[in-house]
Amino acid sequence: MSFRAPLTKHHADGSDCPADHKHTRSGKPLHPDCPGREFTQAICSCGDWEMRHSGKGYVNECRKRRLAQHRPASVSASPVLRDVPPFNMR
């Protein structure tokens, strides 16, 4: 089972700030309906973890760390090793 924790952007009142709300490099909203992006949120699909913070990079970092905790530690090991009879052994 794998988990996801997508990043979402929000306005100060908690409503979604969708991708078509463009902003200037300094973060000023260009969309007439956009009051400005207030925070970024990530909710893990395990239902056990969520966070919000004004720094998108920070949320992203915590999110990755959180997802890494869900990964079983043994995944980095080599593919399944079978018990091969030692035919070729001398």
What is the binding site for Zn ion (CB under 5 A)? 3, 17, 21, 34, 44, 46, 48-49
Backbone φ, ψ for residue 66 (5° rounding): -65, -45
C-alpha to C-alpha distance for 11 and 40, rounded to whole angstroms: 9
In terms of CB distance, is 72 or 90 closer to Zn ion?
A: 72
Q: How far is the CB of 12 from Zn ion (least distance, A)?
A: 10
Q: How far is the CB of 53 from Zn ion (least distance, A)?
A: 17
Q: How far is the CB of 57 from Zn ion (least distance, A)?
A: 19
C-alpha to C-alpha distance for 69 and 48, rounded to whole angstroms: 12
